[in-house]
Structures are given as structure tokens and as C-alpha cells.
Amino acid sequence: MKSNWVVLFVLLAGAGVLRADSVTAAPPENQSNDGTCEYLFAQCLQEAFNRSLENDRACVKAWCDKVFFFTFCDEEGLSNCSEKAEAVHAAHVRACQRAFADCMGMEVR
């Protein structure tokens, strides 16, 4: 059951990554010199970060239980889930960079 939730969460997070381009892909025109691209980049990174925190929390909720003052985790499950969450974060950061490059009129080969 937990695994299903984790898969669902990873998929949702992945979908979020796909949406990441749309967050910053359309900067205002002719603003690459006034810091707008940097601002959008920072905004995108912040969204990626916030989502990663949520994903991290979701992993803990999926693989750990709290009993009184103690936390019991399925370490392997938590480790795998955290790795996936970090991969999602990396993908999101990449998307932010791509959007930033687009905004700056760069073509990354």
C-alpha cells in the first residue's frame, strides 16, 4: 500500500517537473538585461525547492511511523524514496536552467 502511494507521489512530482517549463518559459520580452531572467530563475528554483521539501516530507510520511516520541522508518524504502525525490529535484532544477537559458536567449548545445 505504501509503495503505491510512493509511486503515485513520484509520478505526481514528475508531472510537476514537466510543468516546470511553463513556470518560467515565457518571460517578458526584452528583459534579459534587467534581471528579470535571474528573478524568474530564482523563483523557479524556489518552487523546485519547495516541492522537494514536500516530496521529502511525503517520503517520510510514506515510510515512517511515529509512535509516541519515536520514529520508526523502513530505512530501505525511505532511502529509495529519498533518492527518487532527489532525482525529481534535479530534473526540476534542470528545467529551471533550461528556462533561464531560453530567457537569456542562449542555446545550450
58-87 binders of other proteins (CB under 8 A) = 60-61, 64-67, 69-75, 78-79, 82, 86-87
Residue closer to other proteins, measured from CB, 4 or 33: 33
Residue 9 binds to other proteins (criterion: CB under 8 A) = no
- Strands 70-73 and 64-67, how do they pair? antiparallel
22 and 35 Cβ atoms separated by less than 8 Å? no
Q: Residues 6 or more apart from 21 whose CB is under 8 A from it?
A: 95, 98, 99
Nearer to other proteins, 9 or 41 (CB): 41
**CA angle (93, 97, 101) in 5-degree steps:** 170
Q: Does residue 3 bind other proteins (CB under 8 A)? A: no
Q: Is 104 in the site for other proteins (CB under 8 A)?
A: yes
Q: Give dist(CA 27, CA 37) in Å, integer.
A: 7
CB 96 within 8 A of CB 38: no
Q: Which residues bind other proteins (CB under 8 A)?
A: 32-33, 35, 37-39, 41-43, 45-47, 49-50, 52-54, 56-57, 60-61, 64-67, 69-75, 78-79, 82, 86-87, 89-90, 93-94, 96-98, 100-101, 104, 106, 108-109
